[in-house]
Amino acid sequence: MSVATTHDHHHDHHGPPRGWQRWVYSTNHKDIGTMYLFFALFMLFFGGAMAMYIRAELFMPGVQLASPDFYNNMVTDHALVMVFGMVMPAAAGMANWMIPMMIGAPDMALPRLNNLSFWLLPAAAILLMLSIVAPYIFPDGGTPVNTGWTLLPPLSVQNGIGMDFTIFAIHTLGVSSILASINIVTTILNMRAPGMTMMKMPLFVWAWFFTALLLIAVMPVLAGAVTMLLFDRHFGTSFFDAAGGGDPILFQHLFWFFGHPEVYVLLLPSIGVLGLVIPTFARKPLFGYKALVYGMGVLAALGMVVWAHHQYTIGMSLVATNYFMIGTILISIPVGLMLMNFIFTMWRGSMTFETPMLFGIAIILMFSFAGVTGVMLAVVPADMQYHDTMFVVAHFHYALIPGAVFGLYAGVFYWLPKWTGHMYNERLGQIFFWWTTISFNLTFFPQHFSGLAGMPRRIVDYSIQYTEFNMISSIGGFLFGLSHLLFLYIIIQTIRGGAKAPAKPWEGSQIGTPGLEWTLPSPPPFHSFTEAPVIK
């Protein structure tokens, strides 16, 4: 905390560095946050283009656009890009921008590490792109990465050189996430302004605290698993080969020990955003702040111990399956608590419906729907029917698009005035909201039906009985993709100008939490707090 008062003098008189050095050598949390956000925006369009390809291929039966392997490669990389390239960096960008300002710190605790954790991301993105083209440019390049994002052996051992690029991309992404998480935990624990106790922190800060702890706990497991895969591929080991004494299921356990907590890594930052947006526009303090904080802790802890519900069909013992089933169903308790907190925050409030709030309300509705299908999937015997059908695809897109992505949109619109100093165009923001929400539902709701009727996931071609639902889904998908051009336009327009934003653009934005970010002008100065603010 004393850092805040001693750090300022030698920078203050010469302002931000100019030109490319400002960005490449940056140690400023806002500049790095901006780079994270733009990187995420780029990857959103990259991953979105792959989704458009997938929906175009599935528009009608028959293989029209490319080989099944290329299709499966697109499915794999759509997931990897969206999870590691889009949602996580976007959430990390918001963390970089907002956490120091919310807790009254001048910057992140480890600014140079912060620079490194960002610049690892473009490197990883290049590796991922190489993994797509490698099979075609190397002689005997073998199969593209056709495994789906779970990279399950033995299929991933059969793949060509593209798989090695994918493995190295995952290593790089993992290092980036762990470094960023260490930085965030250190910042939250050490850099809070005097008087800012843990229980006074805005919910977004709490959400990122749990997220970062989860990442530090599970990312190394994924790194270990893909390293073992690399050894199986090239160095003659048999970790995952039953013929050599290994176990193909071991990889699944390792992957999902990472993969399930990863779901909460994607969700929690957005829940943190909701914890600010809903009270602001309801003009009323968050209902059950403590319950939400503890709820997130319980969610993170439970999320660590139920990974095998992704593998109900591998043939576990009756006792193990029962345990994973009941553990998974119990997750509905903290999630139910969260939904209750948000609904009762709106209750007896005084709501206005600016774009962030519209997204907030839509998230509550659609995410509870994802929770309901989640309970259905948790029930083992029923899951044996749903397993690897489009029903699962529909479920996790309902969880991840409203739960994570729409939460990020809510955050972007909520903080755009603060970041840029300009108000965004509210009318366009609302059009964007309705356009995405309607097209999202048009895309993914029919997939519940085709999934229940038995359509498997990750197939390039399907029998004609699923045609209607896939056509609706594809049209919805194209509309959903197209809506993001409007999103891009709104952001560029806001950066370039518009009505000046006051320090506190939203009437209700200091209710309930200390809200230190709103005490700064919009946009905030290069070093947020030159003197540590004091919380009463």
Smallest separation (angstroms) from another protein to the CB of 379: 4
Comparing CB distances to another protein, the nearer of 1 and 339 is: 339
Dihedral (CA of 474, 479, 482, 488) sign: negative
Q: Which residues pair with 456 in a beta bridge?
A: 389
How far apart are CB 428 and another protein at their closest, in Å?
A: 13
Q: Which is nearer to another protein, 97 or 478 (CB)?
A: 478
Q: Which of 436, 414, 433, 434 is nearest to 424 (CA)?
A: 414
Q: Which of residues 433 and 529 has its CB atom nearest to another protein in the complex?
A: 433
Closest separation between CB of residue 280 and another protein, Å? 11
User: CB of 480: closest distance to another protein in angstroms?
Assistant: 13
Residue 250 phi/psi, 5-degree rounding, is: -55, -45
DSSP label at residue 199:
G
Burial of 6 (0-12, 13-18, 19+ CB in 10 A): exposed
Residue among 41 and 207 whose Cβ is closer to another protein: 207
Instruction: Compute the C-alpha angle 146/150/154, nearest 5°.
Output: 65
- The secondary structure of residue 219, as a DSSP letter, is H
Residue 490 identity:
I
Q: Which is nearer to another protein, 19 or 139 (CB)?
A: 139
- Residue 285 and residue 341 in contact, taking contact as beta carbons nearer than 8 Å: no
State whether residue 422 is helix, strand or coil: strand
The angle subtended at Cα 262 by Cα 271 and Cα 199, nearest 5°, is 40
Burial 233-252 (b: 16+ CB within 10 A, else e): beeeeebbeeeeebebbebb
**Bridge-partner residues for 422, per DSSP?**
500
Of the pair 174, 512, the CB lying nearest another protein is at 512
The least distance separating another protein from the CB of residue 181, rounded to whole angstroms, comes to 28
Q: Please, which residue, 343 or 503, has the CB nearer to another protein? A: 343
Task: Select 314 or 534, whichever has its Cβ closest to another protein.
Answer: 314
DSSP string computed for 494-518: HHH--SBPPSS-STTTTSSS--GGG
In angstroms, give the least distance from the CB of 464 to another protein: 6
Closest CB to another protein among 250 and 495?
A: 250
Q: Considering beta carbons, is residue 73 or 177 the nearer one to another protein? A: 73
Structure tokens at 524: 């905030």
Cβ at position 213, least distance to another protein in Å: 22
Task: Considering the complex, state which of residue 195 and residue 456 has its C-beta at the smaller distance from another protein.
Answer: 456
Beta carbon of residue 470, minimum distance to another protein (angstroms, whole number): 11
Residue 143 or 187 with smaller CB distance to another protein: 143
Residue 389, helix vs strand vs coil = strand
Q: How far is the CB of 145 from another protein (least distance, A)?
A: 11
| Inter-residue contact 208 to 267 (CB < 8 Å) | no
Quote the tokens at residue 328.
């998974």
How far is residue 420's CA from residue 418's CA, in Å, rounded to a whole number? 6
Provide the minimum distance between the beta carbon of 199 and another protein in the complex, in angstroms, as a whole number: 15
Paired tokens of 23: 């960005």
Q: Got the DSSP string for 81-95?
A: IIIIIIIHHHHHHHH
**Nearer of residues 124 and 380 to another protein, judged by Cβ:** 380
| Smallest separation (angstroms) from another protein to the CB of 95 | 27
Q: Which long-range contacts (CB under 8 A, 24 or more apart) does 506-510 make?
A: 506/280, 506/281, 506/354, 506/414, 507/283, 507/352, 508/279, 508/280, 508/281, 508/282, 508/283, 508/284, 509/276, 509/280
Q: How far is the CB of 29 from another protein (least distance, A)?
A: 32
For 456-489, the DSSP string reads BSS-S---GGGHHHHHHHHHHHHHHHHHHHHHHH
- Least separation in angstroms between CB 246 and another protein: 9
Instruction: Pick the closer one to another protein by CB: 228 or 380.
Output: 380
Least distance from another protein to the Cβ atom of residue 12, Å: 39
459 Cβ neighbours under 8 A, 6+ residues apart: none
Q: Could you give phi then psi for residue 389, rounded to 5 degrees? A: -105, 175
